[in-house]
A = this chain, B = another copy of it.
Amino acid sequence: MDNLMTAQHAAGKVLVDPVFSVVKAAKDAAEKYGMEKVVNATAGTIYDDQERFSTFSTVADVMNDLSPAQMMNYAPIDGIPGYGEAAIKFVFGDSRPDSYLSAVATPGGTGALRHVFFNYADEGETILIPDWFWGPYRIIAGEFKRNVDTYQLFTKENNFNIESLQQKVLQMLKKQDRLVVLFNNPAHNPTGFSLNEEEWKATLEFFRDVAKDKSKHIVLLLDVAYMDYAGEPDKVREFFSLFGGLPENILVNVAFSMSKAFLAYGMRCGALIAISSSDKVIEEFQEAASYSNRANWSNVPRLPQELFVTLTNDSGLIERVNRERQQLRRMIEARAAIFTKEAKQLGLDFCPYTAGFFISIPSDNPQEQAKKLQEQYNIFLVPLKKGLRYAICSIPISKISGLAQKTKQVMEG
């Protein structure tokens, strides 16, 4: 497509956002047929079993106590005092990696991911992501003319496909000396898969081996947006202790978001955290991320940063939030239990779900099948490249039973 006024590089930019368009269709259907006849399985936000938007009362209480300046004044570019350390403390918990650590505030997880895609890959280079992936990864790469390639996340037996990951990494490192490899873990979007400790150990052993070639520079990017719905807070953080003491040519970047962890999606606050055995790499990280903050959005919203620092520095408050979150996690688990049980009984294949907001069903024709689910059953979900994604975070338990069967029916004919 030709450009009119934009620069050459921006010619033909078009945002196709499958989530927001299906959201609208679901809303229209609910108005036409009544809420009770419609299953809205699109949005990655938690609704309770009465289909009400969920928030944490603890967060609201802390917000009520903030002063006008805490809500309205600028924040420093990197984050308010204490924010970075609070993010490191919250994200790693008792499993803090034994390495140099640093954190910069970002507007949600997207802001953090953007910095890594931009600052750790050059134009024309390729970033490695799993083949089941959150669509915006491709959009972020596209903005900056970075390419994405995929590895197969699962074997045929639905186990972690480390061979595919290894093969792709080695293949790509023949072409480029720097490589960003992305993991969305634990409670992967869109499948709910989590690597176990053995799988992480094998993965890191592989990267240690690759890093023996000092001309190679590897950035392991962990998107942990759904971590706090993957299980008990301490337990789901244990894998982080494996990231200490890696070779200096492996940098680990963790994209943290308050969106899901604190149900503060629209507040746009998160952090990019770096783990490295080299203080110089950390310093370089800090400079690059601060510069990118200043250049793209100036500073990160102050209000959610104040919330976060207050909450995480008060053991009583953080326990209260954890209890509230645990209730919602159990609510989602109960929904998932029904769906997966029925799917197994029917022989409906689904990706290896351990926890989280989404369950995905592999399909060769997701667009068509998603359309049929809409037309025949008023079930609204997001068709992915490789399957159908049910956002069980937003479907009340009363509407879960039968979804597997309807999905199977649509897929068979």
Residues of A bordering B, CB below 8 Å: 3-10, 13-15, 17, 20, 43, 45, 53, 55, 59-60, 63, 68-69, 71-77, 107-108, 110-111, 114, 118-123, 125, 136, 139-140, 142-144, 178, 217, 219, 249, 251, 259, 263-268, 276, 278, 280-281, 284-285, 287-288, 290-303
Contact = CB atoms under 8 A, between A and B. Distances in A.
Contacts of A296: 110-111, 114, 140, 143, 296-297
A308 to B, nearest CB: 14
- Chain B CB count within 10 A is highest, among A121, A136, A264, A297, for A297
A63 to B, nearest CB: 8
A106 to B, nearest CB: 8
Contact of A77 (B15, B77, B290): B15
A251 B9 CA distance: 18
Contacts of A15: 77, 287, 290-291, 293-294
Contact of A13 (B45, B110, B287, B297): B287
B69 A53 contact: yes
27 contacts: A4-B217, A5-B178, A5-B219, A5-B276, A5-B281, A6-B120, A6-B284, A6-B288, A7-B120, A7-B122, A7-B125, A10-B120, A43-B74, A45-B73, A45-B74, A55-B68, A55-B69, A59-B72, A72-B263, A72-B265, A72-B267, A73-B265, A108-B297, A111-B296, A111-B298, A114-B297, A142-B295
A54 to B, nearest CB: 9
B5 A284 contact: yes
A298 B110 contact: yes
B108 A298 contact: yes
Contacts of A9: 122-123
A263 to B, nearest CB: 6
A61 B75 CA distance: 22
A17 B291 CA distance: 9
A17 to B, nearest CB: 6
A268 B111 contact: no
Contact of A285 (B5, B264, B288, B290): B5
Nearest to A286: B15
Given A108-B297, A114-B295, A287 B14 contact: yes
- Chain B CB count within 10 A is highest, among A6, A125, A284, A288, for A6
Contacts of A139: 291, 294-295
B4 A303 contact: no
B301 A268 contact: yes
Given A77-B15, A110-B296, A265-B72, A4 B284 contact: yes
